[in-house]
Structure 1
Amino acid sequence: MDDRTEAPLAGDELATLTGFLDHQRDTLRLKAAGLDHDQLHTALAPSSLTLGGLLHHLAFVEHWWTTHVLHGLPLAEPWASADWDADRDWELTTAPDVADGVLRRRWEEAVVESRARVAAVVAADGAAALDRLCVHGRHDDPAQRASLRWVLVHLVEEYARHLGHADFLREALDGTTGS
């Protein structure tokens, strides 16, 4: 039985965006469910991407966009002390060194944190929440700041892009298919 969140067919913009995002999150959880350490960190040649790496990457993406960029808060650990200059893919390359329970919990906590950060904007701004501009702007042009609407669409896009990878990885691991 599929118990993933479904976006409302006729909801308002916020409910539609968060509904689709939660559906993507639930799909990642489903793709990574029941796998052991070796399976979580098995790559398909020629890529080094793994389901464990995707969990770690998307934990970082959630934290980056909703905590750091949207609210302007400093990065939390483990992200704050990562040597991003030495390894721009740090969250992907270090995932095999993270205990499976920690990896899954880190992603789950990032999702909970992300939902809370979005809810805080909605509580403060009401109907205008989606128009709220992020505290931080683009790396190449800090004056260009995205809206919460853009952040939510970007998170949906980020998950959707990587869920295609997750489909291939999971099918190669144990034959499990499906959306």
Structure 2
Amino acid sequence: MAGDEVAHLLGSLERMRATFRWKADGLDADGLRTRVGASALTLGSLLKHLALVEDLYSTVNLDGSSPGLPWTEVDWEAAPDWPFSSAADDPPAELYALHDAAVDRARGRYARALSAGGLDQAVAVSDDAGEHPSLRRMLHDVLEEYARHVGHADLLREAVDGRVGEDPPDDWRPGGAQEA
């Protein structure tokens, strides 16, 4: 409630991660493939997309390292929307595991970076003019990505089974997929 800037930034990111994961939790393949209106978004595609965001920001953007598999096997020029278009083919357990593992890896990478240089350090990614944002800015970008998709997840989950709410219950822990 009264932490420093790092605690508040990471706390906000953790809240968005938890809220998103709760909105996506415990669904079978049909639930993860549910669409609303004309949108092609699904909770499954958002799980995969946010796994990419976690790995991409905590590697390529943070320090220039490789995001690893499965991201390095994708032909991004041929399939720029691959996380969204391929998720429907993935078993629910794989989507949950992919997202959860990416979040765990990112937490560790950010913790190491923060202890090594704090929020003001420049990260590897740069804009067209060669300017490098700070780790602070990059973490805000990850937080913003989650905030946007938590809104999508609200609508999608309500369409699946009526689950609504702002935060997961205090005793909630990520589960995974329901049996089909």
Structure 1 vs Structure 2: percent identity of aligned residues? 45
Partner of 1:166: 153
Separation in 1, partners of 2:114, 2:159: 41
Between stretches 75-84 and 50-59, larger displacement belongs to: 75-84
1:75: how far off? 2.5
Partner of 1:6: none
Partner of 1:121: 113
- C-alpha spacing 1:69/1:142, structure 2 compared with 1 (3 Å): farther
Separation in 1, partners of 2:163, 2:124: 41
Q: Find 1:47's aligned residue among 19, 22, 39.
A: 39
Partner of 1:90: 82
Deviations 1:83-128 (A, max 9, x none): 2112221111111122211111111111111111111112212xxx
Partner of 2:176: none
Q: Find 1:143's aligned residue among 127, 130, 141.
A: 130
Q: Find 2:94's aligned residue among 77, 102, 106.
A: 102
**Which of structure 1's runs of 4+ aligned residues deviate more than 4 A?**
none
Separation in 1, partners of 2:129, 2:153: 33
Superposition pairs of residues 8-23 of structure 1, within 5 angstroms? 9-23=1-15
Give the alignment's Cα RMSD to 1 decimal.
Answer: 1.1
- Whichever residue aligns with residue 144 of structure 1, its letter is E
1:142: how far off? 6.1
Partner of 1:131: 120
Separation in 2, partners of 1:34, 1:169: 14
Does 2:142 correspond to 1:155? yes
Partner of 1:76: 68
1:178: how far off? 1.0
- C-alpha spacing 1:60/1:106, structure 2 compared with 1 (3 Å): same
Alignment TM-score, normalising by the size of structure 2: 0.88
Unmatched 5+ residue regions in structure 2? 167-180
Separation in 1, partners of 2:150, 2:102: 18
Unmatched 5+ residue regions in structure 1? 1-8
Does the Cα contact within 8 Å between 1:17 and 1:153 map onto a contact in 2?
yes
Of the two structures, which has the highest relative contact order with CA contacts closer than 8 Å and spacing of 6 or more?
Answer: 2
- Whichever residue aligns with residue 146 of structure 2, its letter is Y
Q: Secondary structure at the match of 2:73?
A: coil
Q: Secondary structure at the match of 1:70?
A: helix
Q: Secondary structure at the match of 2:70?
A: coil
- Whichever residue aligns with residue 137 of structure 1, its letter is S
Q: Tell me how many residue pairs correspond in the alignment.
A: 166
